[in-house]
């Protein structure tokens, strides 16, 4: 099922789906309007009045999936702050969860995609309510099986080491995590071996936040010897 469903929803229809009610009240509709204004819920058309604003099923599914992930797994920035606090209280000793941060981010993306497809299936079922009950059960059952299978495969892959990465990448990500509030790697460049030290230099492009909501894009080189990371001056 495509996540880019173009089916148009009015702000009232969106409120019905979010709050699971046939008749959303003014406060609920206003909350949806605020989510549209902030960009959390993408707007398809800006009407002359809030009641004429519209979104799409795909945008609403993305919004609901993101909210579901934050409720179950927590917000990425909050989790990063917790990890830094733990590191600080243990005098810089490695915390086991950080070794798997990239895998956790991948798992978060998988969960989001699964929940997005699930919410799209629910919306499709509502639109197809005039069809047979067997069709409706088939749609929901198919999405439930996809949810369980995908989660099982991802968790199994993490547990048995199917998702792996070079030790140098893990060490650099630890360094970046310690120095920032939140970050995302955009590109890893091939490593350059340093024969005399048995280490390597790796160029990394990434974006991060530090004491601000503004993203900063940067391109840096790091020298890694064993698990020690040193930023190479430009």
Residue 166 phi, psi dihedral angles, 5° rounding: -60, 145
Do 141 and 84 belong together in one domain? yes
- Write out pLDDT tens, residues 37-56: 999 999 998 888 888 899 99
Q: How many domains does the chain have?
A: 2
Among candidate residues 113, 136, 159, the one where a domain is terminated: 159
Residue 53 located in a structural domain: no
List the domain range (segments joined by +) for residue 204.
167-232
For 223, how many CA atoms within 13 A lie in the half-sphere containing its CB? 12
Round to whole Å and give the CA distance between 73 and 108. Answer: 8
Do 85 and 144 belong together in one domain? yes
Do 143 and 176 belong together in one domain? no
In this prediction, the residues of the chain whose per-residue pLDDT falls under 70 are: 1-5, 72-106, 127-164, 195-198
Do 153 and 212 belong together in one domain? no
Among candidate residues 159, 192, 213, the one where a domain is terminated: 159
Among candidate residues 140, 159, 178, the one where a domain is terminated: 159
Round to whole Å and give the CA distance between 161 and 99. Answer: 12
Do 146 and 179 belong together in one domain? no
The pair of three-digit structure tokens given for residue 87, joined into one six-digit string: 């590191």
DSSP sequence for the chain:
--S----EEEHHHHHHHHHT-SS--HHHHHHHHHHHHHTSS--SB--SSGGG-EEEHHHHHHHHHHHHHHHHH--HHHHHHHHHHHHHHTTTPPPGGGGGHHHHHHHHHHHHHHHHHHHHHHHHHHHTTTS-HHHHHHHHHHHHHHHHHHHHHHHHHHHTT-S---HHHHHHHHHHHHH-SEEEEEEEPPPEEETTTTEEEEEEEEEEESSSSS-EEEEEEEEEETTEEEEEP-
Spell out the residues 6+ positions from residue 187 whose beta carbon is closer than 8 angstroms to its own. 204, 205, 206
Residue 10 located in a structural domain: no
Do 195 and 223 belong together in one domain? yes
Residue 80 located in a structural domain: yes
With 0.75 as the threshold, say if the pTM is over it.
no
Residue 131 located in a structural domain: yes
Residue 186 located in a structural domain: yes
Residue 228 located in a structural domain: yes
Residue 117 located in a structural domain: yes
Contact 33, 41 (CB under 8 A): no
User: Which pLDDT does position 47 carry in this prediction?
Assistant: 81
Do 109 and 181 belong together in one domain? no
Do 144 and 174 belong together in one domain? no
Do 174 and 151 belong together in one domain? no
Residue 63 located in a structural domain: no
Do 87 and 145 belong together in one domain? yes
For 149, how many CA atoms within 13 A lie in the half-sphere containing its CB? 6
Round to whole Å and give the CA distance between 98 and 93. Answer: 11
- Write out pLDDT tens, residues 152-197: 655 555 444 444 678 888 889 999 988 888 899 999 998 887 766 6
Do 100 and 143 belong together in one domain? yes
């Amino acid at each position: 099922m495509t996540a880019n469903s173009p089916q148009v929803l009015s702000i009232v229809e969106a409120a019905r789906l979010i709050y699971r009610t046939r008749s959303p009240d003014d406060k609920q509709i206003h909350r949806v309007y605020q989510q549209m204004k902030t960009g959390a819920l993408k707007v398809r058309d800006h009407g002359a009045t809030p009641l004429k604003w519209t979104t799409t099923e795909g945008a609403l599914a993305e919004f609901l999936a993101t909210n579901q992930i934050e409720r179950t797994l927590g917000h990425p920035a909050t989790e990063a702050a917790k990890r830094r606090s733990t590191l600080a209280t243990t005098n810089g000793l490695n915390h086991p969860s950080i070794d798997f941060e990239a895998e956790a981010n991948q798992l978060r993306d998988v969960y989001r995609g699964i929940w997005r497809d699930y919410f799209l299936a629910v919306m499709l079922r509502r639109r197809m309510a005039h069809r047979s009950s067997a069709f409706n059960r088939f749609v929901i059952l198919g999405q439930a099986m996809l949810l369980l299978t995908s989660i099982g495969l991802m968790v199994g892959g993490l547990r048995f080491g199917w998702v792996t990465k070079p030790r140098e990448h893990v060490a650099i990500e630890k360094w970046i995590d310690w120095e920032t509030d939140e970050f995302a790697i955009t590109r890893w460049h091939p490593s350059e071996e340093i024969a005399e030290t048995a280490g390597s230099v790796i160029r990394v492009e990434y974006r991060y936040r530090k004491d601000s909501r503004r993203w900063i894009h940067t391109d840096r080189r790091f020298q890694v010897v064993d698990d020690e990371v040193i930023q190479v001056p430009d």
